[in-house]
Structure 1
Amino acid sequence: MRLRLVLATVTAGLTAAACLTAAGPATARSATAQRTSAHPCSPSTSITGFSDALDKTTYNDTFVGNLSALAVDRDGAIAALSDRSSLFTLDPMSLRPRSVVALADEKGAGLDAEGLAVDRDGTRLVSSETEPSIRRYGRDGTLLGSLPVPDALRVAPAGRATGNATFEGLTLLPGGRTLLAGMEGALSGDGTGIVRFQTWHRHGGSQAFALAAQYGYRTDTGLSVSETTATPDGRLLVLERGFTSGVGNTIRLYVADPRHATDTSGTENLTGQDGVRLIRKTLLADIADCPSLGATAKQPQPNPLLDNIEGMAITGREPGGRLKVLLVSDDNQNQVQTTRFYSLRVRLPFVAEG
């Protein structure tokens, strides 16, 4: 299906999905009213709706939750990855599951799956932060192969990464020839808050990715990278996330531009004061500043709309150029957290060519 048709299908689906609710008819009517207008979170970002309809549900005896990544499939469906080794296909009109497949590594063990991209042939590229790794899977969950990973990015003692802080984001850049994975936390020896974004590149019609450039990105104090998603012009949307017990989550959405950053693949330690050009970023919105739209939280939050947001996909573009962005929270299969979908409209700042 051509890209324009895919985006139109998903855009229509998100409007319908804004009406989903698990709270009953009163909330459903409220959500229906919300879908007709955008509610500003910042000058560049607004929220058009949210849905808790999949929270604490099951599909084909599989728990629908622990969702850590989203991607748009070739036919417009939404692929949703659980970090408990399940990959769901969601209907773009309702966001309800259509199918689910189980994923496993080369030994048949489950993954701590955190990042997802759908390749041009429908192959699923999935990152696991255990080693870390990036594996290729068929639509039926068949393991097809894996990509090389730099030694430094491996979890110690094999490398310099900290467990549970590796490949959290995964995205294909426009054209489908470059894959980018965002590390959640810093490597040992790098400056506090400076994380690495690794890329792979392939040439011509080849399906094989080879290691390519690497870049440094500085997170806000106390936050880490939870998702990276390529924009149509080659920039990145980056979600930064934090959690404070008794206070709740911090979720900030940035646009970042790696195109003029220094290739740090040969730089052992990133200090932030070594002449290396880090990826430049611009704040689009702090999600705590969005209107709550009647959302409720099961634990303390600065805004009851907030939860542990980990997944993000660009699902369409409006005539005026605003991007339609879908977010999802990972409930960790925890009774005080929620599986919640959010639909945003985002206007990217203008960047001059050259």
Structure 2
Amino acid sequence: MRHRSRARRGRALLGALTVAGLLGSLSLANGFAAETGADTAEKPQAVRLLDTLTVPAGTTEFDMPFGGLSGIDYDKGSGEYVALSDDRSENGKARFYTLRLPLDGAAFADAKPALDGLTVLDDTTGAPFAPKAVDPEAIRWTPGGKSLLWTSEGASSSGQPAFVREATTSGGYVRELPLPKAYAPVRSASGTLTAGVRNNQALEGLALSPDGSKAVTITENALVQDGPAAGLTAKSPSRLLVTDRRTGAAQAEHVYEVDPVSDAPTAPLPAPVGTYSADRGVSEILAVNETDYLTVERSFASGVGFAIRLYWTSTIGATDVSGKEALSGTEKPMPKKLLYDFTTSGTEADNVEGITWGPALPDGSRSLVLVADDNFGFNGSVTKFHLLSVRPGLLATRTPDINGDGTVNRKDLAALTTAGAAGDLDGNGRTDGRDVKLWTAYTRAFPTASRLL
């Protein structure tokens, strides 16, 4: 009886939300533009920084430097994290760690992570990677924690391709997921890179769809043939690729525009580099639901430091560029909204390269755990873990495109209360008026339809 009563209340609320009323209540633009760094989330405290755990520089664990952490993922079943080092098998072997970050309320419980183990990654030969043969960047557990997906940026300057591979929990090679031809580094006779992923700006980001069936990668900056790298005044059209995890087939590809570099350099990097440096790129991606993601955009300028921003983005309404060898520049990019800016937090974020959903917090908020790469001590960086909270009801755990037609409009609203699990936008196990409210709030905060049809 309780379930039927909730269903009746949901239908009653849906009936009250007439199309005319909805059109009057929503401010929908003709699509929406990528937001700049000056924008903030619609509601204050939508995302909050709760705590930061810093690991001292020079820390060694399991006879290798504990550093270079560029990817992190949380396994809800075990409560364990996996963290990938971007060591190119130079400071130690290419590896990942398993660790714990217990919470005490809304803060880290301990002053340091509890390390459970170190696992060396194997190349296709079954042996550890040779020095400079790999550049690990992102890692995710597969469903049930039975294996791991991880990425390498490769080294385009020397023709070494980027890749996405699956590994056993003991580090053994399982298989490689193919990348489209457009990603392969192409060099001219003089050695100039003419196509493919840019050197050190390739597959920094990796996500799994909520059901684990799709692997989603994103390039840090544009492919060489697609457009410029991010500059002080230039955006960069990165590519987000959706791949069927079982078959390896590419399913969709979209353009994600990286914002311009936040600051100009004011001093050179330390020796032995000694040059002025500034860049910006996507350092990680995390799935929110079937169509929406969180991205970490990391900007750096020598003499200034890092500027880290967290964005909410969606494939809804974006052009599918699957199979394109090069972009034309007319494609509609993924819309995005700034959710959190570390520069306003009063905390030095450092070189954030990993993000994962963490455990639920006592107030019902979802937690996010981010990790900063210490670059093995170069330029004063240290390993940091940041704990953030996401306000309940801010992000839908199921896509608002309920009928899957690539748009968000009143057809989705009409289908919501009879859609079963697809209509359970807040993820509480039932479909009711709360989901209708969340759908409405979503379209106000993050309009994805050109108009309500």
CA contact (8 A) 2:182 2:326 kept: no
Show the counterpart of 1:144: 174
Q: How far apart, in 2, do the equivalents of 1:190 and 1:212 lie?
A: 20
Give deviations 1:241-262, integer Å, cap 9, x for gaps: 1111111111110011113322
Give deviations 1:91-115, integer Å, cap 9, x for gaps: 2425321101011322442521101
5+ residue gaps, structure 1:
1-40, 293-304
Superposition RMSD on alpha carbons, in Å? 2.2
State the one-letter code of the partner of 1:182.
I
The alignment status of 1:126 with 2:150, answered yes or no, reads yes
Give 1 or 2: higher helix fraction: 2
Q: How far apart, in 1, do the equivalents of 2:56 and 2:212 lie?
A: 31
Show the counterpart of 1:10: none
5+ residue gaps, structure 2:
1-42, 88-93, 103-109, 155-160, 188-192, 229-235, 262-279, 396-440
Give deviations 1:271-316, integer Å, cap 9, x for gaps: 54x1x22111000111111133xxxxxxxxxxxx221110111113
Give 1 or 2: higher strand fraction: 1
Structure with higher Rg: it is 2
SS in 2 for 1:316: coil
Q: How far apart, in 2, do the equivalents of 1:115 and 1:225 lie?
A: 12
TM-score normalised by length of structure 1: 0.78
Deviation at 1:166? 0.8
Show the counterpart of 1:112: 135
Count of residues in correspondence between the two structures? 296
SS in 2 for 1:333: helix
Q: How far apart, in 2, do the equivalents of 1:86 and 1:98 lie?
A: 14
Give the share of equivalent positions with the same residue, in percent. Answer: 30
State the one-letter code of the partner of 1:197.
L
Distance 1:217 1:310, change over 3 A: same
Show the counterpart of 2:435: none
Q: How far apart, in 2, do the equivalents of 1:319 and 1:264 lie?
A: 42
Residue of structure 2 aligned with 1:174, choices 182, 206, 210: 210
Q: How far apart, in 2, do the equivalents of 1:42 and 1:128 lie?
A: 37
Q: How far apart, in 1, do the equivalents of 2:95 and 2:56 lie?
A: 15
Show the counterpart of 2:120: 102
Distance 1:346 1:165, change over 3 A: same
The alignment status of 1:211 with 2:211, answered yes or no, reads no
Give deviations 1:175-226, integer Å, cap 9, x for gaps: 1111100101111222331000111115xxxx44322211100011122110
Show the counterpart of 2:78: 75
State the one-letter code of the partner of 2:184.
R
Show the counterpart of 2:369: 326
CA contact (8 A) 1:231 1:314 kept: no
CA contact (8 A) 1:132 1:167 kept: yes
Deviation at 1:138? 0.6
Deviation at 1:55? 4.1
State the one-letter code of the partner of 2:313.
A
Residue of structure 1 aligned with 2:66, choices 64, 67, 70: 64
SS in 1 for 2:204: strand
SS in 2 for 1:288: helix
State the one-letter code of the partner of 1:244.
A
State the one-letter code of the partner of 2:382.
T
Deviation at 1:116? 0.8
Show the counterpart of 1:14: none
Which residues in structure 2 correspond to 1:1-354 (within 5 Å)? 43-53=45-55, 55-73=57-75, 74-84=77-87, 85-93=94-102, 94=110, 95-107=113-125, 108=127, 109-110=129-130, 111-121=134-144, 122-130=146-154, 131-157=161-187, 159-192=195-228, 193-202=236-245, 207-222=246-261, 223-232=280-289, 234-272=291-329, 274=330, 276-292=331-347, 305-318=348-361, 322-335=365-378, 336-347=380-391, 348=394, 350-352=441-443
